[in-house]
């Protein structure tokens, strides 16, 4: 006759296995559809950078840059399974910026349309990395989506520094020694040349702030490639244990070192009780 306890134990094991499968699947799917489409996000970010660099000087190019920057931001938030509040607020922001840019193009206000590019691009460079990092932390298996997401962070860091260089040109004086005016094409070009440590020399930092930013970007970009990207590629297909994943998401679940050492010091069995003679 089969013991009831054995049946309960098997049922618990089955439930645990099924729960792990459901949890893993929930990391890759949401009610809105498949997420983690970071390959597409990487292409959209690269296209946004190209448009900001080559077409931002014209009114139509500025509007295209605003539309691409805002659309890429919304796509990244959706594919990163960001909170509904963040997605809703971003939709309102992008809608307003795109509408103002189109209105500026129709009324012939080229300067206003070009001035909206930093709003859309800056939001993309600031908000999108936070959503991607939060999503990648929840990956229990390192896949190509994880690597593409990390590469998205690399490109977004270059875009972020491009806007920082433009801001430094206003706050601390000329960013480049060759020109007193640092346009967006110049800062985008200089940022990615510095990030890749190419160093052509046609644009050089013109202030102490710009030099500090250039050194920070160059060193940080190389360290990111040889550490984070290299580790992810080297462990492609590896799976983290559920316990490690849970501890990464909730540090309060981690056991203090003192309690772990105390538990390890305790004997595994209960000492026998001495008999009285």
Q: Give DSSP secondary structure letters for 90-140.
A: HHHHHHHHHHHHHHHHHTT-HHHHHHTHHHHHHHHHHHHHHHHHHHHTT-S
Closest residue by Cα to residue 119 from 178, 170, 163, 89: 163
pLDDT at 246: 43
Do the beta carbons of residue 186 and residue 172 sit within 8 Å? no
User: Structure tokens of 125?
Assistant: 């460079």
Mean predicted confidence (pLDDT) in 147-166: 94
Is 131 part of any domain? Answer: yes
Residue 152 neighbours by CB distance under 10 Å: 26
Closest residue by Cα to residue 120 from 183, 171, 184, 169: 184
Angstrom distance (rounded) from CA 149 to CA 232: 11
3-state secondary structure of 272: coil
User: Structure tokens of 234?
Assistant: 């080297």
Mean predicted confidence (pLDDT) in 41-58: 88
The number of angstroms, rounded, from the C-alpha of 211 to the middle of its chain's C-alpha atoms is 26
Angstrom distance (rounded) from CA 122 to CA 112: 16
Give this prediction's pTM: 0.73
Report which listed range, 51-65, 143-157, 187-201, is most confident. 143-157
What total of structural domains would you count in the chain?
1
Could you tell me where the DSSP H helices lie in 172-237? 184-195, 208-224, 230-234
Give pLDDT tens digits for 85-140.
999 999 999 999 999 999 988 888 877 877 888 888 899 999 999 999 999 998 88
Is 270 part of any domain? Answer: no
pLDDT at 26: 47
Is 25 part of any domain? Answer: no
Where is 246: in which H helix or E strand?
A: helix 242-249
Is 195 part of any domain? Answer: yes
Is 121 part of any domain? Answer: yes
The range of the structural domain enclosing residue 48 comes to: 34-237
pLDDT band at 13 (very low <50, low <70, confident <90, very high): very low
Instruction: Point out which residues pair with 239 in neighbouring strands.
Output: 141
Top-confidence residue, 10 or 60: 60
Helix 117-136 crosses helix 84-106 at what angle (to 10 degrees)?
160
């Amino acid at each position: 006759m089969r013991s009831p306890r054995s049946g309960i134990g098997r049922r618990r094991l089955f439930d645990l296995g099924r729960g792990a499968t459901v949890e893993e699947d929930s990391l890759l799917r949401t009610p809105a559809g498949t997420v983690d489409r970071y390959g597409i996000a990487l292409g959209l970010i690269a296209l946004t950078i190209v448009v900001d660099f080559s077409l931002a000087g014209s009114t139509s190019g500025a509007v295209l840059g605003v539309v691409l920057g805002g659309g890429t931001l919304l796509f990244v938030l959706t594919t990163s399974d960001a909170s509904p509040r963040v997605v809703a607020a971003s939709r309102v922001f992008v809608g307003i910026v795109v509408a103002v840019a189109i209105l500026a193009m129709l009324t012939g206000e080229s300067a206003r349309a070009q001035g909206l590019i930093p709003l859309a691009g800056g939001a993309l460079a600031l908000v999108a990395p936070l959503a991607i990092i939060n999503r990648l932390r929840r990956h229990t298996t390192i896949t190509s989506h994880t690597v593409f997401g990390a590469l998205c962070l690399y490109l977004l860091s270059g875009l972020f520094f491009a806007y920082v260089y433009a801001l430094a040109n206003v706050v601390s004086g000329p960013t480049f020694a060759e020109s007193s005016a640092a346009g967006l094409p110049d800062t985008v070009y200089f940022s990615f040349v510095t990030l890749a440590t190419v160093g052509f020399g046609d644009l050089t930092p013109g202030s102490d702030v710009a030099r500090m930013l250039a050194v920070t970007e160059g060193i940080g970009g190389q360290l990111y490639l040889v550490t984070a990207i290299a580790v992810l590629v080297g462990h492609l297909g590896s799976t983290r244990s559920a316990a490690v994943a849970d501890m990464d998401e909730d540090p309060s679940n981690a056991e203090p070192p003192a309690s772990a050492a105390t538990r390890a010091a305790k004997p595994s069995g209960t000492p026998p009780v001495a008999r009285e003679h």
